[in-house]
Structure 1
Amino acid sequence: MVYVESAVRSRQIIAAARAVLVRDGVGGMTIRAVAQEAGIPLGTLQYVFPTKQQLLRAVIEDVVEDITELLKSSSNVDAGLENAIKQGVWSVWNNFVVADVPMQLVQYELTVHALRTAGLEDLARWQYERYVDVVTEWLEESARRAGEVSAIDYRRLARLLVAGVDGLILQFVVHPDFHRGQEDVKGLIAMIIAHARVRPAAGA
């Protein structure tokens, strides 16, 4: 077999695991199925990820980073806080939710699996704290560059935004009504912006 660098092999395996998870779900995913999907020997996969739990951890971390990178690249942080909220939420909704509903179901499965599996409980907490960390930084940077401030703490605003989007995703997974989803996203954005009560920073 041709030598492949560890980092490249890991990415290959994680991509294969995500494909198997979408097809078979968490309960149906096996290490053997992932190896077949990746086109590599079972032993090679087990060398990189000795257990299914380690592989699932890597998948969760990979999904979280995909979302955070999309959020960071989706909005113009120089156009003000309200504009950043609108652009960021719509980008996540259209590019990550509507475009890949099966992966949203996998995310919920992975979160519940982590909460119910000894040794993975902290992973679910990390997942959502990571979301909140990234959104907080994004909100703060958008406000700072525009010379604005939010009326409420940025981390609290980020938690509300993550919770709102997460709830709408679950409803969309259960009932993928595109028009209803669009209207609900508009409502969520309006509520978050109204709650933030954006104003010019002192001295701006």
Structure 2
Amino acid sequence: MVYVSAPVRRQQIVAAARRVMARDGVADASLRSLAAEAEVPLGTMQHAFKSKRELLQAVVDDVNDEIADVLGTSTTSDGGLEEVIRRNLTTFWSRLVTGHSELQLMQYELTTHALRSAGHERLANWQYRRYSESVADWCEDAAARAGEQCAVPFEQLARLIVAGLDGLILQHLCDPDDRRSAQDLEALITMVVSLADIQPPPSA
């Protein structure tokens, strides 16, 4: 048998868990079914993750890392906060929403499952805190690079961006319409930029 290190094994299990949850739903994803998908004994699964809650948190982290990787290529510009907001939101939509309904549905299921499962409630809090912190970080970095000022705290701006995207994604999942969603995303970007009331750096 080929030796597989613990970190690699954990990542293999997380990848398998994402496939099963996207295909069958979070509630129906038992440790046994996840072990079968990952092609590992149930004992190996339970050694890697002591509980389903621990595995779900690893899935949340993995999804968030994927989002951060997608957005990371858009945050190196010195063009300013508005440019980065516009580029990041459109990049996010094109690469992680369009054609990826199963990923988005899984994320919502992770939230509702955590909120409805005793002892898992903090997972939902962690999930959205990570989303918001990631957005706040690249907003603050973009403004700092350009020497700009934002009219609202970056933490609040990030929460509103996440909330706006959530609403648009849910509507798109319920009634897929690429043209309408593109128009609504543009409107959301306009509203966010207006709220930020971005001030340019002071003249030298």
Q: Which residue of 2 aligns with 1:93?
A: 93
Q: Structure 1 residue 70: deviation in Å? A: 2.1
Query: Larger deviation: 103-112 or 129-138?
Result: 129-138
* Structure 1 SS opposite 2:27: helix
* Structure 2 SS opposite 1:26: coil
Give the 3 Å change call, closer, same or farther, for CA 51–155 of structure 1 in structure 2.
closer
Q: Structure 1 residue 66: deviation in Å? A: 1.7
Unpaired runs of 5+ residues, structure 1, are: none
Query: Larger deviation: 43-52 or 14-23?
Result: 43-52
Instruction: Tell whether the 8 Å contact from 1:132 to 1:158 is kept in structure 2 after alignment.
Output: yes
Q: Which residue of 2 aligns with 1:191?
A: 191
Q: Which residue of 2 aligns with 1:33?
A: 33
CA distance in 1, matches of 2:162, 2:127: 11
Q: Structure 1 residue 192: deviation in Å? A: 0.7
* Structure 2 SS opposite 1:98: coil
Deviations 1:13-51 (A, max 9, x none): 000010001111012212222122112222211211233
Q: Which residue of 1 aligns with 2:57?
A: 57
Letter in 1 for 2:160: L
- Alignment length, in residue pairs? 204
Query: Larger deviation: 82-91 or 153-162?
Result: 153-162
Q: Structure 1 residue 118: deviation in Å? A: 2.0
Query: Larger deviation: 108-117 or 71-80?
Result: 71-80
Q: Which residue of 2 aligns with 1:116?
A: 116
Deviations 1:180-203 (A, max 9, x none): 111110110111111111111345
Aligned pairs for 1:1-204 (under 5 A) are 1-203=1-203
Instruction: Tell whether the 8 Å contact from 1:77 to 1:138 is kept in structure 2 after alignment.
Output: no
CA distance in 1, matches of 2:182, 2:168: 10
Query: Larger deviation: 5-14 or 77-86?
Result: 77-86
RMSD: 1.5
Instruction: Tell whether the 8 Å contact from 2:75 to 2:142 is kept in structure 1 after alignment.
Output: no
Residue identity over aligned pairs, in percent, reads: 48
* Structure 2 SS opposite 1:148: coil
CA distance in 1, matches of 2:56, 2:158: 26
TM-score by length of 1: 0.94
Deviations 1:117-176 (A, max 9, x none): 222211111111111111111111111111211122222111111111111111111112
Instruction: Tell whether the 8 Å contact from 2:27 to 2:113 is kept in structure 1 after alignment.
Output: no
Q: Structure 1 residue 63: deviation in Å? A: 1.2
Deviations 1:79-111 (A, max 9, x none): 111100000101111111113111110111110
